[in-house]
Amino acid sequence: MTLRVFFLLMLCAGLPITASAADLPTPKQGPVLRIQGSNTIGAALGPALVEGLMREQGLLKVHSETPDKANELRVVGETAQGRRVTVDIAAHGSSTGFTALKNATADLAASSRPIKDSELLALQSLGDLKSPGAEQVIAIDGLAIILHPQNPLNQLNTEQLAQIFSGEVRTWEELGGSGGAIHLYARDDQSGTYDTFKEVVLSRRGKTLNSAAKRFESSEQLSDAVSLDPQGIGFIGLPYVRQAKAVAIVDGQSQAMPPLNSLIATEDYPLSRRLFFYLPPNAKNPWAEALVAFAQSSNGQAIVAANGFIAQTVQAMAVTPNALMPEGYQALSRHAQRLTVNFRFEEGSATLDNKARQDLTRVLDYLQQNQKTNRQVTLVGFGDAKSDPARADLLSKLRAMAVRRELVKSGVVFREIRGFGAEMPVAANSADEGRIKNRRVEVWVY
């Protein structure tokens, strides 16, 4: 998908994208765009996307310059007339991006977690940052739990992780391993990586990070430290595993899931997360709008994949049936392939969330390009556990019907709509985060 085509799609969807590929302004002084926030995005992915946009704009001599301050850089290009065009990127943690929007020191916030309600309230003068045009999922990432390469453990559950990082479990022997005292490594308080870990592992169980943990602003430095410490354990964004060992994770009644690309793309992996750009609706910057559009385009998603994150490009994948699956699901997996996308919903609602809205276009493109629009698609709904299993079954099928309604508008004729209720959970049902992940719709093609 070209940038021009993506702009047209955004406009048709009613999203506030106004710049075009040919008319971005290049002022004589100052940066054309200021991005602040997540180190996970800002370390490499953000600069790579900016460089890609600049090249697509026809700028010359595109390169990055590193100032004296750590975790900051400047991406530079040059117009045909020799005018210097710069984009400034500061990557000090997701929360700093929202602070910078409030202080008008950034045009775009990069975040490796969703915006918090308190931040949404503080920034309401900039417009609704949860609206479809403002909240843009640019990639999927997985938090990898990393150990020293020679640590024999291959699997941990989220309850054990909470006990380890809160300091309740202090030795490897308590986990069935060996090596004595556990050494904890964690990202700093400004990090979206830490926010995500705190939300999905610690806070869900009423625990806090042990003060003995060594804290890092840099993902690379944390990973390298764990890979050199036989007693170490840490959490990190997927592209930064480097020389360390990543273990499989279990959440609640889910199966053990390693941080594989396919499981992260569907967000089934318990520690998967979304990476965001937040674009203030009431403080429009044409370069920010163009960067958001470029990040969502096929060229932008190729850059996402090249930087070690999971692109949102839709693909079909084979699923191997096993005895833990319902018989109907096993039969489906023998005859069809599953697409690498799950539709999910806003909290407490049957309304598709912002990523799902974006994915509707991607799934439709895939179905049309592969001639799968005529009775070759089955939608499969799942939900969280209810006191009445029949109600869970009904709700799961209704979620699938909600996706069907949207795709039918574009001419898709479905083979079947299925609901499997609360079976095959991918997360624990004991918290809102887990229930939201379990309420999902899969797409299967024949």
Question: Does one domain contain both 292 and 326?
Answer: no
Is the pLDDT score of 21 beyond 70? no
What are the strands, taking DSSP E only, across 125-209?
135-147, 155-157, 183-187
Give yes or no for a contact between 77 and 315, defined as CB atoms under 8 angstroms apart. no
Question: Does one domain contain both 152 and 256?
Answer: yes
Q: How many CB atoms lie within 10 A of CB 31?
A: 17
Give yes or no for a contact between 175 and 151, defined as CB atoms under 8 angstroms apart. no
Q: What is the CATH number of the domain that holds 186?
A: 3.40.190.10
pLDDT score of 8: 43
Q: How far apart are CA 144 and CA 140, in angstroms?
A: 13
pLDDT score of 3: 47
Q: Is 71 helix (H, G, I), strand (E, B) or coil?
A: coil
Total H helices, total E strands in the chain:
15, 18
Question: Does one domain contain both 49 and 116?
Answer: yes
Give yes or no for a contact between 80 and 103, defined as CB atoms under 8 angstroms apart. no
Given 263, 297, 328, which residue is the final one in a domain?
263
Question: Does one domain contain both 246 and 345?
Answer: no
Question: Does one domain contain both 126 and 159?
Answer: no
Q: How far apart are CA 115 and CA 198, in angstroms?
A: 15
Is the pLDDT score of 107 beyond 90? yes
- Which letter does DSSP use for residue 114 in this model? P
Question: Tell me: the pLDDT tens digits for 238-276?
Answer: 889 999 999 999 998 888 999 988 999 999 999 999 999
Question: Does one domain contain both 128 and 73?
Answer: yes
Computed over every residue of the chain, the mean pLDDT equals: 91
Question: Does one domain contain both 364 and 403?
Answer: yes
Quote the Cα angle for 22-28-29, to 5°: 125
Domain assignment present for residue 151? The answer is: yes
Is the pLDDT score of 10 beyond 70? no
pLDDT score of 11: 42
Domain assignment present for residue 428? The answer is: yes
Which H or E run includes 442?
strand 440-445
Domain assignment present for residue 268? The answer is: no
Domain assignment present for residue 127? The answer is: yes
Q: What is the CATH number of the domain that holds 352?
A: 3.30.1330.60
Task: Provide the pLDDT confidence category of residue 431 given band limits of 50, 70 and 90.
Answer: low
- Which letter does DSSP use for residue 409 in this model? T
Question: Does one domain contain both 128 and 181?
Answer: no
pLDDT score of 20: 40
Domain assignment present for residue 269? The answer is: no
Q: Are strands 135-147 and 183-187 parallel, antiparallel or unpaired?
A: unpaired
Q: How far apart are CA 119 and CA 358, in angstroms?
A: 23
Residue 372's φ and ψ, nearest 5 degrees, are -115, 25
What order of strands is seen across the sheet that includes strand 316-317?
316-317, 337-344, 440-445, 377-382, 416-419
Q: What integer is the mean pLDDT of 203-224?
A: 94
What are the strands, taking DSSP E only, across 154-218?
155-157, 183-187, 214-216
Question: Tell me: the pLDDT tens digits for 312-322?
Answer: 999 999 999 99
Rg (CA), the chain: 22
Residue 157's φ and ψ, nearest 5 degrees, are -105, 165
Which H or E run includes 12?
helix 3-12
Q: How far apart are CA 163 and CA 167, in angstroms?
A: 6
Domain assignment present for residue 273? The answer is: no
pTM attached to this predicted model:
0.83
Domain count, the chain: 3
Question: Does one domain contain both 125 and 222?
Answer: no
Give yes or no for a contact between 42 and 307, defined as CB atoms under 8 angstroms apart. no
Given 271, 287, 306, which residue is the final one in a domain?
306
Facing residues of 143 across strands? Answer: 237
Print the domain residue range for 283.
Answer: 3-134+279-306
Distances (CA, A) of 398 to 33, 306, 391, 411: 43, 37, 10, 20
Domain assignment present for residue 378? The answer is: yes
Is the pLDDT score of 388 beyond 90? no
Question: Does one domain contain both 326 and 294?
Answer: no
Q: How many CB atoms lie within 10 A of CB 371?
A: 8
Q: 3-state SS of the chain: helix, strand, coil percent to 5? A: 35, 25, 40
Give yes or no for a contact between 46 and 36, defined as CB atoms under 8 angstroms apart. no
Question: Tell me: the pLDDT tens digits for 265-311?
Answer: 999 999 999 999 999 999 889 999 999 999 999 999 999 999 989 99
Is the pLDDT score of 6 beyond 70? no
- 435, two tokens: 């229930």
Q: Is 333 helix (H, G, I), strand (E, B) or coil?
A: helix
Distances (CA, A) of 30 to 56, 85, 91: 21, 8, 19
Question: Does one domain contain both 93 and 163?
Answer: no
Question: Tell me: the pLDDT tens digits for 48-97?
Answer: 999 999 999 999 999 999 988 889 999 999 999 999 999 999 999 999 99
Share of the chain above pLDDT 70, in %: 95
- Which letter does DSSP use for residue 116 in this model? P
Question: Does one domain contain both 106 and 42?
Answer: yes
Residue type, 347: E
